[in-house]
Amino acid sequence: MNQRPLWGTITLYALAAIVFALSVVPFIYVLASSLKTGNAIFEPTLWPKTPSFDNFVGLFSGKQPFGRQFANSVMVATITVTFAMAISLTAAYALGRIRFKGKGLLLLALLGVSMFPQVAILSGMFELMQVLGIYNRTLGLVVPYTVFTLPFTVWILTTFMRDLPGELEEAAIMDGCGPLRIIFQVFMPLLWPALVSTGLLAFIGAWNEFLFAITFVIDDTARTIPVGLGLIAGDNTFELPWGSIMAASVIVTIPLLLLVLVFQRKIISGLTAGAVKG
């Protein structure tokens, strides 16, 4: 492949440029729109003549509790992920390192739950949350979020757990270590990268969740930020405040974008661990 004809090289770079532009330009336009105020927002120019941060300032002083909603999202996603990871560690050890009957079926069932349609449990979950007294509470969302987060973290951690060297474990058993000590003292140092990738992916999933968040929380101050963004309305029903919406979009996206770009190798290894390894 090192001797490519000239036209091949040109096509290759042209395609690469197109893919690059298609991926990046839309978000740059969002960024640009968020910096346009007044009538400038209605001019389809790629970059504003006089950038201003008014839209961002307005978000945090407007009638919508935007800062609060941001904090809600951080809190719910962090607690959901921490909780799921803590529980899935031992489960992943059992599924990844111990032979027992029914394991294959169990793994398939977990995969099934993480992929099944969330609406299928909407009414049952609605009832459960009311019974538990967590309906319309931000932190109550941890319960429905566990439905898709826990099977996901177990599944991904299992594939990582399976790839750890067996000699280490054997040596530890020789030394008289029990399974709990093997997980937390022998495997833990090796598992850190896997924990980071799994945690990041689970965090992204919880941060972006919309259906449960819009259904089970109805107070504006208790809502998560994707719902807050989805429901931004203007002073009248015909005119949406596009500048504020774009500014809010930037705020919702930037934390994720930074996480993904900084940890891109980890994210990719986590994404592919569940799907590609044979």
Burial readout 5-42 (b: 16 or more C-beta within 10 A, e: otherwise): eeeeeeeeeeeeeeeeeeeeeeeeeebbbbbbbeebbe
Quick one: which of 10, 19, 171, 188 contacts another protein (CB under 8 A)?
Answer: 19
Task: Select 128 or 190, whichever has its Cβ closest to another protein.
Answer: 128
Q: CB of residue 189 vs another protein: minimum separation in angstroms?
A: 20
Task: Select 59 or 252, whichever has its Cβ closest to another protein.
Answer: 252
CA nearest to 205, candidates 130, 260, 166: 260
Quick one: which of 22, 167, 238, 239 contacts another protein (CB under 8 A)?
Answer: 22
Both tokens assigned to 157: 């951690």
d(C-alpha 161, C-alpha 93), whole Å: 6
Q: At what angle do helices 6-34 and 242-262 cross, to 10 degrees?
A: 130
Q: CB of residue 202 vs another protein: minimum separation in angstroms?
A: 14
| Residue window 150-189: x/- pattern of binding to another protein, with contact defined by CB under 8 A | xx--x----x-------------x----xx----------
* 127 touches another protein by CB under 8 A: yes
Q: Does the CA dihedral 15-246-262-277 come out positive or negative?
A: negative
Q: Who contacts 267 (Cβ-Cβ below 8 Å, separation ≥6)? A: 197, 200, 201, 260
Residue-by-residue DSSP string for 72-87: HHHHHHHHHHHHHHHH
Q: CB of residue 145 vs another protein: minimum separation in angstroms?
A: 9
Please report, as residue ranges, which positions from 216 to 275 form the binding site for another protein (by CB under 8 A): 226, 229-230, 242, 245-246, 249, 252-253, 256-257, 259-261, 264, 267-268, 271-272, 275
d(C-alpha 268, C-alpha 63), whole Å: 39
Task: Select 94 or 196, whichever has its Cβ closest to another protein.
Answer: 94
* 119 touches another protein by CB under 8 A: yes
Q: CB of residue 56 vs another protein: minimum separation in angstroms?
A: 15
* 24 touches another protein by CB under 8 A: yes
Q: Who contacts 220 (Cβ-Cβ below 8 Å, separation ≥6)? A: 64, 65, 69, 228
Task: Select 17 or 57, whichever has its Cβ closest to another protein.
Answer: 17
Quick one: which of 35, 59, 91, 202 contacts another protein (CB under 8 A)?
Answer: 91
* 199 touches another protein by CB under 8 A: no
* 133 touches another protein by CB under 8 A: no
Quick one: which of 7, 50, 117, 167 contacts another protein (CB under 8 A)?
Answer: 117
Number of Cβ within 10 Å of residue 235's Cβ equals 8
CA nearest to 80, candidates 172, 182, 212: 212
Please report, as residue ranges, which positions from 58 to 87 form the binding site for another protein (by CB under 8 A): 87
